[in-house]
Structure 1
């Protein structure tokens, strides 16, 4: 599937410069890749599909080892290409950190229609619903595949970093659900031991949502190159 940011780096191994990290994700990974390219930061990877594809059951563990196999043929093809460029044959052989956006396309989880059943006739949630255990259980179930992917990568001994998404909510999604679901997923990733790249204090305004300076003007979802540059700066500050 094509995404707005589906281009990736040339194989960094061909330049003789070791890649600093493998980037895997949905279209939100595109801004990271573009910024890394612009900064001359050697990496490999990029988007392998759209956000909705990487919430639930999207991969299997290869029974012959610790590698993963994406169930979507095109996603797996792209992933294999990244590994080939790095000169490794599986995630279990990856010698560099993994930077990922799987399960963090919050606007997909916050699609208004998904939550209609939990609203009263006025369209209002019961008091405390968005902080209740039921809500958290639903969100964890929705992103069970992404959480399993992160847990597997950590079990392989990889350093894993997850990038929180641009704080942008399209008209199809509920802003309150977006924020509450993000807190649930963020907490789960922290519990697993994933390092979080969280730029919210630097890119949001008083509403808690993304400032225009960090928004891709052509759509209502993505961050722009300036947002990607802040992510890359954060990665560099972490030693990548």
Structure 2
């Protein structure tokens, strides 16, 4: 899902960048007639490893084309020239990080990834290495003095992903972003059930990973509460 979902009838309130999880946020903003620029640039796995260079360009053609289109709409040459916040979902596709086969080496004889490993420095380092491209982008944006807000993804774990790894990896990324000064939009207490998984009311129908418009509206409401 890489279709831009900008609205620019009046000056934009924020720039939305991310993977497909940014889609429902853009849809909610458009439905509310809240002016913004941006939308998804690709899938979650596209924005984990290195994808963005220090000169402000994306390495893949389609994300770069969309990114330049967004900047042109804002009439700026790059992030450094922006005066509005960035809302970003890069690196937050925890279900991709938690792909089961990636963690088979660390399972115990019961087939479980043990808590001792999930709490270890090694696990933290592996997750950081997996999302190093996203962390580099956040470092770049924050260093420019931009206000950056990152909505946590829907708490949905498809069958191809390990739930324990999903939640543990998400915690690692949250800690990394917090340490960088990124503002987290954390709706877990409002959208998840007792198991920690997303309640159906906030899940996209016939889909295993995305949030629906109701979820996007909650994210948008939180953004508005924070002054966007």
| TM interval, short-chain normalised | over 0.9
2: distance between equivalents of 1:48 and 1:133? 32
Deviations 1:32-81 (A, max 9, x none): 0000001111000000000000001001011xxxxx10001000000000
Q: Does 1:31 align with 2:28?
A: no
Q: Which residue of 2 aligns with 1:94?
A: 82
- Contact kept, 8 Å, 1:204 with 1:211, in 2: the verdict is yes
> What does 1:3-22 correspond to in 2, within 5 Å?
3=1, 6-10=3-7, 12=8, 15=9, 17-22=10-15
Q: Does 1:46 align with 2:34?
A: no
* TM-score computed with the length of structure 1 as normaliser: 0.93
Question: Aligned residues, how many?
Answer: 228
Offset of 1:128 from its aligned partner?
A: 1.0
Offset of 1:92 from its aligned partner?
A: 1.0
In structure 1, stretches of 5+ residues that fail to align are 63-67
- Cα 1:39/1:127, change in 2 over 3 Å: closer
1: distance between equivalents of 2:190 and 2:199? 9
Offset of 1:127 from its aligned partner?
A: 4.6
Q: Which residue of 2 aligns with 1:65?
A: none
2: distance between equivalents of 1:190 and 1:170? 26
Q: Does 1:206 align with 2:221?
A: no
Cα root mean square deviation, aligned: 1.0
- Cα 1:29/1:229, change in 2 over 3 Å: same
Q: Which residue of 2 aligns with 1:70?
A: 58
- Contact kept, 8 Å, 2:86 with 2:146, in 1: the verdict is yes
Alignment partner of 1:230: what SS?
A: helix
- Contact kept, 8 Å, 1:6 with 1:27, in 2: the verdict is no
- Contact kept, 8 Å, 2:149 with 2:183, in 1: the verdict is yes
Alignment partner of 1:23: what SS?
A: strand
- Contact kept, 8 Å, 2:4 with 2:66, in 1: the verdict is no
Offset of 1:120 from its aligned partner?
A: 2.9
Alignment partner of 2:215: what SS?
A: helix
Deviations 1:207-226 (A, max 9, x none): 11100000001200000000
2: distance between equivalents of 1:37 and 1:111? 32
- Which ranges of 4 or more aligned residues in structure 1 deviate by more than 3 Å? none
In structure 2, stretches of 5+ residues that fail to align are none
